[in-house]
Copies of this chain bind each other. A is one copy, B any other.
Amino acid sequence: MSISTSTNKHSLFELQTQFCAFLSENRISQAPQNLYAPVNYIMSIGGKRIRPILCLMACELFDGQVDDAMFPALGIEYFHNFTLVHDDVMDEAPLRRGKPTIHNKYGLTAAILSGDATMIKAYECIAKVKAAYLPSIIQIFNQTALEICEGQQYDMDFETQEMVTIPAYLRMIELKTAVLLAASLQIGAIIAGATPEQTAHLYAFGRNIGLAFQLMDDVLDTYGTTAKVGKRIGGDILQNKKTYLLVQALSTANAQHKATLNYWLQQNDKTIAEQKIAAVKEIYNALGVRKNAEAAMQAYYQQAFAHLQAINVPESNKKALVDVVQQLMYRQQ
**For the complex, is A153 an interface residue (Cβ under 8 Å from B)?**
yes
Scan A103-133; emit 1 where CB is below 8 A from any B CB, else 0: 0000011001101110111011001000100
- Taking the closest CB of chain B, its distance from the CB of A121, in whole angstroms, is 7
- Taking the closest CB of chain B, its distance from the CB of A101, in whole angstroms, is 14
Closest to A136 in B: B131
Residues of B within 8 A of A14 (CB): none
Residues of B within 8 A of A115 (CB): 112, 116
A287 and B17 CA atoms in complex are apart in Å by: 60
Q: Does the CB pair A146–B124 fall under 8 Å? A: yes
Residues of B within 8 A of A157 (CB): 32, 34
Q: How many residues of A contact B (CB 8 A)?
A: 36
**For the complex, is A196 an interface residue (Cβ under 8 Å from B)?**
no
**For the complex, is A271 an interface residue (Cβ under 8 Å from B)?**
no
A149 and B122 CA atoms in complex are apart in Å by: 14
Partner of A153, one of B34, B124, B131, B152: B34
Closest to A151 in B: B32
Residues of B within 8 A of A123 (CB): 123, 138, 142, 145
Q: Are A35 and B138 CB-contacts (below 8 A) given A109-B90, A119-B119?
A: no
A124 and B145 CA atoms in complex are apart in Å by: 10
- Taking the closest CB of chain B, its distance from the CB of A194, in whole angstroms, is 19
**For the complex, is A89 an interface residue (Cβ under 8 Å from B)?**
yes
**For the complex, is A314 an interface residue (Cβ under 8 Å from B)?**
no
A145 and B123 CA atoms in complex are apart in Å by: 10
Known: A32-B154, A89-B109, A116-B149; 19 extra A-B contacts, CB below 8 A, are: A32-B150, A35-B149, A86-B113, A90-B108, A113-B149, A113-B152, A116-B116, A117-B146, A117-B149, A119-B120, A120-B142, A120-B145, A120-B146, A123-B138, A123-B142, A127-B139, A131-B134, A131-B135, A138-B138
